[in-house]
Structure 1
Amino acid sequence: MTSISLAEYKSLYGSKSKNLIKSKSPRRDKQIESMGESILALQLKAHRIEFEREFKFHPKRKWRADFHLIGKKILIEVEGGIWSGGRHTRGKGYIGDMEKYNAATMMGYQVIRFSTEQVKSGSAIEQIEKMVGDLG
């Protein structure tokens, strides 16, 4: 492998390469995973509860649930930004979430919601495990 100096690189490609891909908004490409979602995914795996991430549950809308429990009609949402004035707690976002969750319920899904704090404390996985156990 041959290395080149920064000056040589700039002379070949310019100081701002046109070939670099501009970063896209996370909403347009892939959502950035929250800490709560990461922790819950690990907990679900540890409890051997099968799930899929970013589950598109509606045939026409682009709505996705953070988690879908496979073989059950259960959707799980980890709500972020509840103390910092995030999207879920501001008017438009809150109304949008109500529309999404109501549509899921009308489609036969059970929707359960947790805060990041509930996930971290273990209370979310306890409730999920009980719910899954109660369903058989």
Structure 2
Amino acid sequence: MQQTTHSICWCKMVKMVILIFNRPYDHFMYQVVLCNCPDNNVAQAIATQLVREKLAACVNIMPGITSVYSWQEKIETDTEVMLLIKTTQNQFDRLAALINNIHPYDVPEIVSLNIQQGDNAYLNWITESLK
């Protein structure tokens, strides 16, 4: 049976799709989420709850962040505590909802950044920690 150009292209496309979906790690599914808190008590409460609920594998609490921002038409400067939250993209909506429920700010900072690259062992640890 003679193969047509169409069937050869189709086979190559199927092989590419299989390779893409069978990769051990899709680095874009991993995220670091930033969230600033007014003090260490709030930061600790949010971090603990996120890890307890398996919405974050790890949360770094970084005190002493100085934030300069516009709020209600005034320039504000505050000392805050930054959370550096390691999670996955599919946890983001639940993670954001939990932060919004606990956080005292009217509009808390909840910003996710996709992890472009990471050590496979570390990324695997994130995956396993969220099960």
TM-score of the superposed pair, with normalisation by structure 2: 0.23
Q: Which has the higher strand share?
A: 2
Which has the bigger relative contact order, CA under 8 A and spacing at least 6? 2
TM-score by length of 1: 0.22
